[in-house]
Amino acid sequence: MDVGFPYMANAGGRLVDTLLSGLAYQRGGLPFVLGTAAVTVAPSALTSGRPKAPEAAAA
């Protein structure tokens, strides 16, 4: 199994988040950082599906 792409995608996302949070803190302090986080979490929550309940194993 090749894990290169998911690893790099995760690293890229962390880099973008770090830069965005630093910029937000410089622009407006902690309240602006928290507001930016809420704005970025909302689309993620809306586009993510509900987790499926694990099926019971047949004994």
| Annotated domain spans of the chain | 1-35
**27 vs 17, 20, 44, 46, CA distance in Å?**
15, 11, 24, 27
Q: Give the pair of three-digit tokens for residue 12.
A: 């890229």
User: How far apart (Å, rounded) are the C-alpha atoms in residues 10 and 4?
Assistant: 10
Answer yes or no: are the C-beta atoms of 20 and 36 closer than 8 Å.
yes
Q: Give the mean pLDDT of 24-31.
A: 94
User: How far apart (Å, rounded) are the C-alpha atoms in residues 54 and 50?
Assistant: 12
Q: Give the mean pLDDT of 11-35.
A: 92
User: How high is the pLDDT of residue 59?
Assistant: 57
What is the share, in percent, of the chain residues with pLDDT greater than 70?
Answer: 92
pTM of this structure? 0.58
